[in-house]
Structure 1
Amino acid sequence: MKRFTRTTSASLSAGALALALALSGCGGDDPAPASTSGGAESQAPAESAAPTVPEEGPTGAEAIGEARTNLDNLESVTVIGSIDQDGESMEVLGTGSLADDGNYSLEVSGSIIPDNGAVSIVRADGTYYINGSESYFETVMGDTDGQIADTLGDKYLEVPADQAEGVEDMTLKSFVDTFTQQDFDVSALKDPDAPGVLDTADASPDDPDGMQVYAYETNDNDGTLLYLTADGENQFAGIESPEVGNVLLSEHNQAEEVQAPGEDEVMTMEELQEALAG
């Protein structure tokens, strides 16, 4: 997963923003990143006119307050992140609904899971589907021989919600909530100039032109930037922090609905137990 590389149509100089991105339910890190790349202004879909983008963004206090409210009200989103903090690294890719009972998919890897393991989680229609590395299943199911991962192969383990203790804490919403939990010092934010463009290709392949954003920085110049969309919707688009990592949010309220894996891609708990016993 690539990190942001700032190249925008406007000058987005480095700045500082006090952050401590904490992962609820996952042990204390957060998501982050995709790459930023320069380019011309993003074009709207063919059926609609290109949005009018003000040359100057709203003030920090005004923007953050509105964006925080918008984030609280998000119904769906795509998140791509890369974190390196306190000696632990984590990469995240998630998409789908933020509703308590909504469908989403989430992929997490890195040292946050023992032995730089990985896990892929799909929640669809109240059921969880899980596939992970040997170290993941050793951590959550006590499988010290790697038999579960070997038996599953590329298939997902179907886990009813009432048996998903622990897994249900690692949700797409928990990553998005890291934004709402931040106490941003808006008094220190510099007001942005003209918008730049974030490359969202990693998270949104159907959006090759990227996402127009305003970049907010503080006066501390530690290299941290907070991105808000410049399309008039004022959504959080991402954070770039040298101390914590990077995260990109895209497809605000437009993420595709996540579906359950097909029957040939799934193994039930009963089937797994039979396979292990045989």
Structure 2
Amino acid sequence: MPAPDLDLRLVRCFTTVAEHLHLGRAALALHTTQPALSRQISRLERQVGARLLDRSPRGTALTEAGRVFLPRALALLDSAAEAVAGARAVGRDRITVGYGVNLIVTPAVAELRRRHPGADVRARHVEWDRVRSSLLERRVDAVVARLPLDDDGLRVVVLREEPRALLVPTGHRLADRRSVTLDDVADEPMPRVPDERWNAFWRVDPRPGGGPAPDGPLVESAEDKAELVASGQAVAIVPGGEHLRRVRPGLVAVPLEGVEPSRVALATRAGERGPLVAEFRELAATHLVG
């Protein structure tokens, strides 16, 4: 069955009505009249092939079909906006630099701004599991992130290596040690994330002897991982370079011996030829390596 040919203007009308649940207020927000807005909603319902709104003198409510359609309609509008922004950015004197948690890009970004005072140089945080999608969907043009990551379609250059450390709560039996090894935490639970490549590296799973790493709670963010450790539910392997300098209250980072270091890398789109991206690659190689 061919996909329906949706008019994005009508989709926006629907999402505005869904936000206000009142045709009159939605019409004011859209700078149109209530009868005109009602006709536009009817046109969209014909395109979709389902009734999306219940309209009565008592008010407006989403139908079951409308509740299903709404999140997809919002995502459709967001995707359209990103597509337009990406197309408009091509050839412009503009770059957005992404950075992962606790990674600093300020020296390279500041130097790029100094060299190009008329350029639009921005920095934006990127979650650990959104590096590739953020680049390929052109939300950012370069990302400084920690490996591992899916590099399909990307150009990835390692900037520096950092030792790894074991993050434990204050008062843990290992908190006062000068260093630890994996044998010291052979039975300690470690948080997992929904990414097997990331788990393999940051949990050292499987362990050198071939056995699995101890199971642990599932988390999605570094903040959740830190909270689990602080509450005594788990320990975690973290980048030692950053955590040995800045540890939140309730946590201690102990150097972890006998494991390969973590790597901080710069990722860009594989075919990217923009001059600002090329210059940022050079600046990252000199300003973000120490």
TM-score scaled by structure 1?
A: 0.23
Q: Which of the two has higher C-alpha Rg?
A: 2
Structure with greater proportional strand content? 1
Higher relative helix content? 2
State TM-score, norm by structure 2. 0.22
